[in-house]
Structure 1
Amino acid sequence: MKKQLVVVTGGSGFIAVHIILQLLQQGYAVRTTVRSVAKEAVVREMLTTGGITDFTDLSFSLADLTSDDNWEETMTGATYVIHVASPTPKLNFKNPDEMIRPAVDGVIRVLTAARDNGVKRVVLTSAYGAIFAGHKNRTTPYTEKDWSNLDDKNIHPYQRSKTMSEMAAWDFIKKEGNGLELAAVNPVGVMGPVLSAKYSHSNTQIQQLLEGKIKALPNVDSGYIDVRDVASLHILAMTSEKANGERFLATTGETLSMMDLANILKEAFPAYASKMPTKTIPNAVVKAAALTNPQLKMIASIVGKYAGTSNEKAKTLLGWNPRSAKTAIIATAQSMIDLGIVK
């Protein structure tokens, strides 16, 4: 029997590579897009670290979200598409459109190619950033019913790009989908085992904490989720009848402060305990610093903000059951230590 083919975009990314790993383990054939041939070796290296020894069912396709080239060929014969690729957040952009346009155009490009090649369902990796931003005085957990408030001028362009690209995807499906199915996964802060020293930007804070580079912490609360559970949720969203037309928050439902994070590392890795910060930076100080340092703008927009989330929907509808935030955080640090990333 011929294996079902799944196209995974952006194969060298942290979330994407864990999705590919689980798809191969579950007997799917995978075609993944990379922006350069050099990335193929990185993907293979990470999958090897993850335990894959046979690459027969993995193929690569050169495709970029900013160009129409090769998307047609990439989608040929695919049953499903998991669209993870996303333009990397620029810290020093001149104009918010530099982040927003590529994200929106990229989603439409992928959905159009999927529809035109008879793909059954696309699962979109969206973000918690498309849910929580721009809400005032929130006191109840965010759910899939929430959308970031685009009327708020203080929303960071990264969150704006995530919100607008997910909205564009649902709009496309409604108006031009011609029966193409869509589901979205919205992860909170993603932790979990890093599979290569050439890893994603999402975990640098763990590395910086372990290396003693952070002297004091902003008052930022966040949900955390293990990348392995983010991957399994994408696959459930891909295969479950109930997932069509739905979005799913990928969260453990716990809310941790940055200090909680540091304390988990302190307890789990006593050898690094003395490097952990013990001080918190006042919110006003972070906000003031962000006025002159663009790299702090994103942090400044979320200090002191409520960050409760619920995973009730994914649990009840799909039977998804994630590991704890603590487990995810420890797994991140352990993998970084094991791979020699932590200096």
Structure 2
Amino acid sequence: MANDLIFITGATGHIGFKTLVVALQHGYSVRAAVRSESKKEQILSAPSIKSLNPGHKLTFVIVPDLTAKGAYDQATKDAAYVIHLASPIVLKGEIRPEDFQRALIGPAISGTLNILQAAAKESSIKRVVITSSISAIIPVEYFFELEAPEGIVFDHTSRPASAPNTYPSDFYAYNASKIAALKATHAFVQDNKPRFEVTNILPSFVIGRNELVSELKDITIGTNVAALSPILGNKSVTPIIGASVHLDDISLMHVKALDPKVPAGDYIGNSDDYAGTVWQNATRIVAENFPKAVANGIFPNDGTSPTRRLRLNVSKTEDIMGFKFLSYEEQVKSVVAHYLELRGEKAE
């Protein structure tokens, strides 16, 4: 590759770190934005990075505040590509309702625009890939209040009529942040007509082994909890939309989106076709694949996790990117094997 340098933000995140690894495996050079030296060391100490031994192919730049004006102007210098994964996330109860706009929605927009503006100043950049979410294309009521009617199928062209303007919970604010950031991206492209192309990746719930999680107490932080919860005996009565994607697949999508043979656009990441994810199936999957761990009481495997059905059409993604999404079963096996590893147990 004449210029194979990717500038990646969010490199210590669930999706971000795996995307960094996949990019290196595909022969790219990576310049990773991290908030501190300790985050840099966290990446360098990961087994997959040590195994790859990337040397000069992996470099770092410290960007402590992704929302600061011009935050990425120097970091994008001489890069051919940008993968922007950094965006505010929310852990339940960590942000007060009166702070949702300041802590979630504003930073999601400003961080995205900062990347696009920095890329526009750098003539070497050919493509920008941005991590969005299916939250940006699905009305929020289908997440919490209603099951989508039988005939409704969402695809990459779907858009909610409006974003939430009141936030009964942190997820409503997160939903609004993703809608706003995607709108800002499309508006930037339309208004500025940049020389580079822009692709948005829209994952559903991302499930899979997060290598940077090294302590058992942290394994249920983030979206992996949706798969682990019934296995660990948690009993929920609140339905979760039945949409998930393997971490390996969503990371691969980000890297494949750099290929000029893949048209720029919006691509959904989701497994199991229209049937979608049935969260309760995790207990069956664990009983079949990890019977000793169940028999030994490591997994109570008696929790409940109802599903709110949702239909997503990902045929565009699979056809153009050339792979079939891994099943929910593979997602569950990935996080359960990691759970056992962190306990010092052998996976069966």
TM range (shorter): 0.7 to 0.9
Pairwise CA distance, 1:211:
4.0
For 1:41 and 1:325, the matched residues in 2 are separated by 32
Q: Which residue of the partner structure matches residue 264 of structure 1?
A: 285
Pairwise CA distance, 1:336:
2.4
Q: How does 1:256-335 map to 2 (within 5 A)?
A: 256-273=277-294, 275-279=300-304, 305-335=308-338
Q: Which residue of the partner structure matches residue 230 of structure 1?
A: 250
Match for residue 157 of structure 2 among 145, 149, 154: 145
For 2:4 and 2:304, the matched residues in 1 are separated by 52
Change (3 A) 1:47 1:26: farther
Q: Which residue of the partner structure matches residue 97 of structure 2?
A: 94
Unmatched tracts of structure 1, length 5 or more? 282-303
Change (3 A) 1:50 1:194: farther
Pairwise CA distance, 1:147:
1.6
Q: How does 1:18-97 map to 2 (within 5 A)?
A: 18-46=18-46, 48=48, 51-63=51-63, 64-68=65-69, 70-90=71-91, 91=93, 92-95=95-98, 96-97=100-101
Pairwise CA distance, 1:341:
8.5
- Normalising by structure 1, we get a TM-score of 0.84
Matched residue SS, 1:33: strand
Does residue 188 of the first structure (1) align with residue 204 of the second (2)? yes
1:74 alignment partner AA = A
Q: Which residue of the partner structure matches residue 121 of structure 1?
A: 127
1:83-116 Cα deviation digits (max 9, x unpaired): 1011121533333313100000110001100111
Match for residue 270 of structure 2 among 226, 241, 251: 251
Q: Which residue of the partner structure matches residue 337 of structure 1?
A: 340
1:195 alignment partner AA = E
Q: Which residue of the partner structure matches residue 297 of structure 1?
A: none
For 1:149 and 1:60, the matched residues in 2 are separated by 40
For 1:211 and 1:25, the matched residues in 2 are separated by 34
For 2:189 and 2:172, the matched residues in 1 are separated by 26
For 1:206 and 1:45, the matched residues in 2 are separated by 27
Change (3 A) 1:145 1:268: same
For 1:242 and 1:182, the matched residues in 2 are separated by 11
Q: How does 1:1-12 map to 2 (within 5 A)?
A: 2-12=2-12
1:16-58 Cα deviation digits (max 9, x unpaired): 1111111111111100111111111211233536842333200
Matched residue SS, 2:56: coil
2:302 alignment partner AA = P
Tell me the matched-pair count.
318
Pairwise CA distance, 1:151:
4.9
Does residue 215 of the first structure (1) align with residue 229 of the second (2)? no
Q: Which residue of the partner structure matches residue 295 of structure 1?
A: none
Does residue 161 of the first structure (1) align with residue 177 of the second (2)? yes
Q: Which residue of the partner structure matches residue 284 of structure 1?
A: none
Q: State the superposition RMSD in angstroms.
A: 2.5
CA contact 1:190–1:227 (8 Å) conserved in 2: yes
Q: How does 1:129-140 map to 2 (within 5 A)?
A: 129-134=135-140, 137-139=148-150, 140=152
For 1:164 and 1:247, the matched residues in 2 are separated by 15
1:294-341 Cα deviation digits (max 9, x unpaired): xxxxxxxxxx64311121001222323222221122112112221339
CA contact 1:99–1:158 (8 Å) conserved in 2: yes
Pairwise CA distance, 1:164:
0.8
CA contact 1:123–1:234 (8 Å) conserved in 2: yes
CA contact 1:188–1:222 (8 Å) conserved in 2: no
2:191 alignment partner AA = K
Give the fraction of aligned pairs with identical amino acids, expressed as a percent. 21
CA contact 2:9–2:33 (8 Å) conserved in 1: yes
2:160 alignment partner AA = S
